[in-house]
Chain A
Amino acid sequence: MTTVTVKLSRSNRIYRSSEPVEGKIVIKSPNSISHQAIRLSVNGSVNLQVRGGSAGVIESFYGVIKPIQIVKKTIEVRSSGRIPPGTTEIPFSVNLREPGESIAEKFYETFHGTNINIQYLLTADIPRGYLHKPLSATMEFIIESGRVDLPESPLPPEMVIFYITQDTQRHPLLPEIKTGGFRVTGKLATQCSLQDPLSGELTVEASSVPITSIDIHLLRVESIIVGERIVTETSLIQSTQIADGDVCRKMTLPIYVLLPRLLMCPSIFAGPFSVEFKVCITISFKSKLAKAQPKSDPTAPRLWMALERLPLELVRTKRDQFSC
């Protein structure tokens, strides 16, 4: 059985748009294979899709919207000939962007969302004439913004101070919470480098009703222009509990959330689509109702919960990830 794999030079498969994507095509074959040429193609695109969520019935009917091409090129790594039996490694190097070459779209960073997918694929094709099935292998690689286009590091710390009290809530609260009152304050960096954790702090200053949990939810907001309308989909990426139970009052709790890779990318505001992020702080109070409530969206407003949503701008900074 002949197998073909594409192996990238970097184990994390992360490349900048300015860098050549390097690696090798590994062919393992028990017998010699003749081929017409070995070609490698790079394909980068933004796939947009509207499904469920806040999209209307009509929009969902549209189905897939035409993807946006970022890059598509094919190179021949080996002209036609024979591959000897055994393992053959064919190294390659592809420049995504030739100097001076203008491309239609920006190299967005790789992102896998609900409705928006930004993906870069590397495909090796080995056509073998009519009689044989062509061999092929695909490998995804990840694009991070090149250094050149990045803002200077470090980011100016942009901390937002927030207050959460019974009066800041726009949804109805349980009467005992409303009357008893509570006050939670804190601060959070709303502009955040992707390499850094989301950080901030939070203090429960007062609460008459015992708290059961305080959570930090990361939300992503994907918007797509479909025809005349903008379809926006908000989805939960990750929840992180920072307080379990009725914590001590006036004690500062740290907010520290490591941003998950691949699921997050720098905030994008492109023409046909945008990817934004939000932080939602939820404070759950002790209530019998909460127990009766079945599993559901943790960021939805409830009678026994206080919420605070803060925008989060994610950027890629120049700084090395693990600077010492």
Chain B
Amino acid sequence: MALGRKSTFIFLALVLSLLLVNAATAANIKVGIVLPLTGEQAKFGEIEKRSFQMAAEEINAKGGVKGNKLELLFEDDTGKPDVGRSAVEKLISQEKVPVLTGGYSSSVTAAITAVAQQFKVPFLVTTGSADDVTEKKYDYVFRINPPASEYPASVVTFLQDVAKPKTAVILYENSLFGQSSSKSFEEDCKKMGIKVLTKEGYNKGAVDFKPMLTKVKAQNPDLVYMVSYVMDAALLMRQAKELNFNPKVYIGGGAGFTLPEFQKNAGPAAEFVYSATLWVETVPYPGAMEYFKKYRAKYKEDTEYHGAEAYASLYVVADALKRAKSITPKDVRDALVSTDMMTAFGPVKFVSYGKKTQQNKLPTFMVQWQKGSLETVWPKEVAKKKYVFPVPEWNKRK
């Protein structure tokens, strides 16, 4: 009997605590976020998660959304599309989130968009940048990040105005992002009248790029354009230096070339390498520098464009939630459509053009490694330092 009474008591306590938890969270608006928090892409997942949390703290400190606090529900996709898929299904069916954001790798993001569309829950893509993510006519999918094919927009003007190469070689990581970027850059080259001598992919994590580099060195190109993840990027540059391979200019197409780890691993081989980027803290957007400084003060680490995207994403979501007629997926989606605001990542407005729908358009920038630090050099309006061109040959440097 005593046991019976005890178990009844425990049961009641449990019910009571559940009720209390429910009461405490009832007024919160849940935002579902899928990111790679473990696995190979965890570094970026961490930067984005921290930036989302920073944005949430700021928004909630200012009264949240119509007096309700934002509650972020993070799910780990481990960098795998199938895991991302089940994670987002859980967020939608169990947590009943009215809005989703996040999404780092393109392949995982593509899997999530299909689920979001199927269940009709709006999904604001933070990063996943392969072009076709917003080319499926999904009316519940929005993207703040420009598509991969538009990353080199600033590179194109730089090449036309400054470098003027005649021949090019394109090397890319054999992934959805790499293929998508390299293909569109090849088309850009055609438009500019640059002859593409070789376009070659490689598998991520390769040890030795020398055979491939030797081959393209023999073709003597003016421009080497690389779409690579951070450590492949560093190895490519180190081995290009070892081979004394001197095209007029090395340009990285976003991704790995702007990260501090790239410079740490490549060392002197990183010097004067150009890269396209979507965001640097010196961009002329209100809040960009503040975000960068705040992040560094809080986490004692530097952030980069992925973090800025995440930070801005939550502001866009909060803005849509404020304007939505009710907190239901349908109304939030309708509110997102009419988004027109300024964020630390730049102006956000979802437009449809070409094959793309509900896609944000942003200018891109070019940076160059100079004396071990990353300087914005192009376009001229935002440049903080003069670009170094032509670049000295490897064996003539001190």
A-B interaction: no
